[in-house]
Structure 1
Amino acid sequence: MVMTVANAPVSYGVFGLARPDRVPLPSGERLLDLVRRAGYQGIDSGASGLLGTGTALVDALDARGLRLCGGWVDFPFAGTEGAFAEACERARPLLDDLALAADAQGGPLPVPTLADAGSDLRRAHPGGGPDLELDPRSWSVLVDRVERVAEEVRERGLEPTFHHHASTYVETPREIERLLNDTSVGLTLDTGHLVLGGGDPVACLSRWRGRINHVHLKDVDRSVLTGAAGSAHPIRDVWEKRVFVALGRGDLDVPGFMDELAATGYGGWVVVEQDVVMLDPGDVDRAAADQIANREALRRWIP
């Protein structure tokens, strides 16, 4: 099967931890142009409306020969019913756009990427641990809500995936195993977040290969995570200190992971994500150069 490579707005500083007070962020149009020029085949939607909506989104992608690979949607799966209902309402326009793009673009379909929204407690303790896990009752609520959202996705003709993520209730390998055992959703294996949660990407790829339907590829500098121990704001600190680096410059065995991924017969999207917080105007050019280098680093597996 053939893998398809995409990039994401987070690689250019456009995500929840952004600092537009320090550096103006690129527009949706600019992001599309940067991703196309770097040689990627697709792009993640980012926040709903970032790249446009409806037919305007489809036209903007088509004009650049890009496909939509997916879109991030997080939910307070362990929160109140009211907060969860509000998140579902906010998510529906993005899910509708993903379905519209799927009908228009052909080829590999976009994959709606579900995630837990986490909590202040988890954000204060990145990496997780058994004492931070949900109790059985709260976990049951999470599972039920994941399945409810998954059904909404499938009603639109798409297949959902679940993204384990730092500082959420699905973070560690143990929590990921629990989710896979108790739900029907596929898994986004994110190499960077897996390392942050204490996992080995190559070993976990082999273990979960039957459920992985989306891949986010990140390289990680573990020393940044270690240096954030005791910080009052550990998540912001590790992101701003560039815990995610260009492929081949961190602790991830990129060739080993990609060789194993190819050996599994994986044929979905490989989304390069190098989350970066822009703190200096020079970071804009640096981010663009890193994404070109990242694309070239993958030519061996995805020409």
Structure 2
Amino acid sequence: MDNVIYYYTTKGKKIHEFTPGGDITCIEPFFYNPKQYYGLFVVVGNEIRLYIDYLLVDRIKSEAQVSWIKFGGLGREEAVLIIVSKTGSLAVKMFKRTAVLDDKEFLKNNGGLQVMKLTIPKKTKAFVSQGMREKTNADLIFKIFQRDLFMLKLYITKSYAELQSSNLASLGFSDDFSAIEVQVDVLGFGPMFRVVINMSSGKKITLRNLKIMFSYNKDLYSMKNDIIDICYLLPNYPQSLVVPVEAKQLATGQSGDICMKIMESYQLPALIPPSKQKPLVTHAFTMPVCETDFLE
């Protein structure tokens, strides 16, 4: 034995060591919950020393060499020290409830050397403990980060899918939907608006004999042509249409949605009942509120 006491964490990392200055017979942990005292008894020869926070705070001298000690509860007393000497004698000492343990004994035995315990602020302790936790659990924290990132991407994907399936996005009802790309922009402050429709065929085929049909609230808006003919759509060649829309309700400031359907010519309402119509693309967009005349 090297007569050195080592302190380790629960994970086996050494944090401190010191030499009592003699042959160590045995050691015993010390704890007193009412005052939150936690320390270590060290038996050196016929002397029992108590260390708290690596400092010597008290000592008990015995007439004979101490064989072993035990600290704990006995009967109604919760802090009792049992001392057994090599001669076979047994002694029982009770811890005083009014006892105050500090580093006076340490200062006395070191010629008044000013050794003070460093006071660390609470925020600094929290920062240090957080840093140690991140260092020791780096793999787990990284896995949790990856999981949260995946859940965030999943939430964004679901929200985007819900947006795409809402009434404000384009919906396709046939296999030709993927061949038509539609983009709608509303320009103007009112009461006259310009609806710019950009369309193109995304595949290597030319779409022919298409019509655009608009459905809207007749009390809010008016259009010159509710049906527009499209002779053909060329592949990867955008085609633009400008449709004027006039707002009627200027005083109330109401606004509504306009639904645009792209369908083949033989599916017009005059030829096929609405229940059997299958438009290629349905696109709904919301009209802005008319601005007041700021020149008045």
TM-score bracket, shorter-length normalisation = under 0.3
State TM-score, norm by structure 1: 0.23
State TM-score, norm by structure 2: 0.23
Judging by fraction of residues, say which structure has more strand: 2
When Rg is computed on C-alpha atoms for both structures, the one with the higher figure is 2
